[in-house]
Amino acid sequence: MRESLTNELFDLNHTLFSAFFQENLWEVLSLLENQFDDFISLISSSYLEWKPGIWVSENVSIAPTAFIEGPAIIGSNTEIRHGAFLRKNVITGNDCVIGNSTEVKNALLFDGVQIPHFNYVGDSILGYKAHLGAGAILSNFRFDGKDISIRTENKKYRTGRNKLGAIIGDQVEVGANCVILPGSLIGKGAQIYPLVSTGGFIPAHTIVKKSIFS
């Protein structure tokens, strides 16, 4: 899973951190966990350290009832709404929304991502303008605790991670109350209808209306 697949999933003009997307995509998550200072080194002077380890750009709105545990980087014009919970190692792009009762942990969001209502996003990457409907969950842990693999159309990759949510391409729409299984790879522009449980590899621009377990 090299640079070609990265470009198939993401427009790298919509993140400050394109330099980290040249190897296997899940390695970005390991960098978030272990080398967060590398991300901080790339932010501009428009970011200020709002609280220790929490870097915030211009025109960010953070509700008094939101909780952010550093390290974190919050892009400009992003809105962190009432009751949001950011649990370490979180990066948002510009113009994002993290909403009511949404929990985010060890994740990178490109510009324009919306996760506005009752969502869980753990150990995941969400591309430009990806959107999760109310109650949509990105599950990041197998019942048996085994390491999680990622599949493309033709190949299976061992990640060596026992926590891995979803890698979601640009402009993906995930409907309300969906559950996306650990290690899912969802191509650009895919649409997943409400109440669907699905996982594995979902090609770009696919419409998923029925639950699929793979």
pLDDT, tens digit, 9 for 90 and up, residues 106-151: 999 999 999 999 999 999 999 999 999 999 999 999 989 899 999 9
CB 5 within 8 A of CB 154: no
Looking only at the bridges linking them, the beta strands covering 114-117 and 156-161 are: unpaired
Of 14, 82, 117, 131, catalytic: 117
Token pair, residue 56, equals 């915030």
pLDDT at 198: 96
- Per-residue pLDDT band for 3 (boundaries 50, 70, 90) equals low
Active site residue 117: yes
Q: 0.75 exceeded by the pTM? A: yes
- Per-residue pLDDT band for 68 (boundaries 50, 70, 90) equals very high
Superfamily of chain region 3-208: Hexapeptide repeat proteins (2.160.10.10)
- Per-residue pLDDT band for 210 (boundaries 50, 70, 90) equals confident
CB 60 within 8 A of CB 66: no
Does the pLDDT at position 23 exceed 70? Answer: no
pLDDT at 214: 56
pLDDT at 24: 86
